[in-house]
Amino acid sequence: GIQVEQSPPDLILQEGANSTLRCNFSDSVNNLQWFHQNPWGQLINLFYIPSGTKQNGRLSATTVATERYSLLYISSSQTTDSGVYFCAVGDYKLSFGAGTTVTVRA
């Protein structure tokens, strides 16, 4: 199956800092999603981004499908951005990376 690798595994930020999370995948994919897992465990959809660039407020994402990677940018981070960010690829069966745990300190 497709291998999905996320980096870094952990990220500690000061409030207001910017950061970049990376997702590499081992094969061509038609679909890629980014999720934020909240403290109660629910996966919140951030982006559906098989290719190109999208922005939603302080978050943006870029997927370069031909080079098999995607990036998630967090700008002006806030404490509410803390949590685990997952990248997942696939259609009916999502293959997830191990996640990046983000801690934003006030």
Partner 1 sequence: KAGVTQTPRYLIKTRGQQVTLSCSPISGHRSVSWYQQTPGQGLQFLFEYFSETQRNKGNFPGRFSGRQFSNSRSEMNVSTLELGDSALYLCASRGETGQYFGPGTRLTVT
- Could you list the residues that contact partner 1 (CB under 8 A)? 31, 33, 35, 40-43, 45, 48, 86, 88, 91-96, 98-99
Q: Judge residue 10's burial from the number of C-beta atoms within 10 Å of its C-beta, 0-12 exposed, 13-18 middle, 19 or more buried.
A: exposed
Distances, alpha carbon 74 to alpha carbons 24, 29, 30, 85, 98, in Å: 18, 24, 24, 11, 19
Q: Decide whether 41 or 57 has the Cβ nearer to partner 1.
A: 41
Q: Decide whether 18 or 98 has the Cβ nearer to partner 1.
A: 98
Q: How far is the CB of 36 from partner 1 (least distance, A)?
A: 11
Q: How far is the CB of 42 from partner 1 (least distance, A)?
A: 5
